[in-house]
Amino acid sequence: MNVETHEFSLPLTSPLDTAHGAIEHRKGILVRIEDGDEVGIGEATPLSGWTESLPACRAAIAHVDDPETELSSLEATPAARHGLSLALADLRSKRAEEPLYRYLGGTERVEAVPTNATVGDAPRDETVAAVNEAVDAGFECVKVKIGARSVTDDVARLRAVRDSVGSEVELRADANGGWSRTQAREAFHKLDTLGVAYVEQPLSLTDIEGLAELRGRSVGVAVDESLVDSSVDAILEADAADVLVCKPMVLGGPDRAVEVAERARDAGVTPVVTTTIDGVVARTAAVHAAAAIPDRPACGLATGTLLVRDLGPDRTRLVDGAVGVPQEPGNGVADTWGAP
């Protein structure tokens, strides 16, 4: 096998605020694996605080001579593993003449995966307007960012949203670890009457015990950032989640995301696949990972519009809140080699 890499930088439509500062570009590495006449394309797009750094990712990929046997050496660099494992999966599923989601274990044809829209932190009227715009565009599930304001203000925002859109729209909230245990208990009590499906990361990523204590209410607990600090097994053994947010780039590849989703389902926990605002290669692979999971809920896959430009054309059309799943062999992404 021959492994080649190409680095890229994709500007964001607006800066992404993280605990490590604002990010204006998504920088990563395309991975191209040739085996005879066959080619597989992968993407490694690290995100500080979630995966290794770009230099660490670059170094990890550079040290791999035989990706088929050396994936196990990349546990500490999940973005690097994602890039190589995706390139291998793309190549192998093309060889098997089946779409990637079938290669990943999907047992039936899946034409589309439901997605959620995401609405950022904003004053109440702006939040309501943004949610209504998403619903008008066909989304049946909307996630609202909370946690930056007081609990009272955030509950008022979500109450106004529910009053505006009615009971048929699924509402989720994402606190990004912004609450104390006392604030979280207050919020969950007040959100109980609003039909909020779950709150994503209501407590800090290290407070697994607190997350477990929050469970048992009508509002579910979704674990996201905690998967950076704690293992999947630790989260499941602690009964700390109703929902497990599965980011393939963070978990080390679409194959790992499907494996984690299966373990979550076996434990009675709902898996939801989302991206880390990746390029089209990784984003399409996340769609395939979601399609490989039975009875999938709405997933966080509608993130392509957050990029000013992409690595190539996006063949996963978003229609009425659902993203189409490519049916051709492999990942279904055009050869993006040499993209910016």
Question: Which residues are designated catalytic?
Answer: 145, 247
Q: Is 174 annotated as a binding residue?
A: yes
CA-based nearest residue to 145, from 153, 211, 296, 318: 153
CA-based nearest residue to 250, from 278, 213, 220, 222: 278
Euclidean distance between CA atoms 217 and 198, whole angstroms: 10
Q: Is 111 annotated as a binding residue?
A: no
| Residue 161 contacts residue 170 (beta carbons within 8 Å) | no
Euclidean distance between CA atoms 313 and 307, whole angstroms: 12
CA-based nearest residue to 196, from 226, 166, 229, 218: 218
Helices (H), the chain: 54-62, 67-70, 78-95, 100-103, 124-136, 151-165, 181-191, 208-214, 226-229, 232-237, 248-251, 254-266, 280-291
Residues 6+ apart with CB under 8 A from 18: 47, 48, 49
Long-range contacts of the stretch 190-194 (C-beta < 8 A, 24+) = 190/151, 190/155, 191/155, 191/158, 191/219, 192/217, 192/218, 192/219, 194/155, 194/158, 194/159, 194/162
Q: Is 140 annotated as a binding residue?
A: no
What is the side-by-side order of every strand in the sheet holding 318-319? 112-114, 322-324, 318-319
SS3 98: coil
Question: Residues comprising the binding site?
Answer: 174, 200, 224
Question: Residues comprising the binding site for Mg(2+)?
Answer: 174, 200, 224
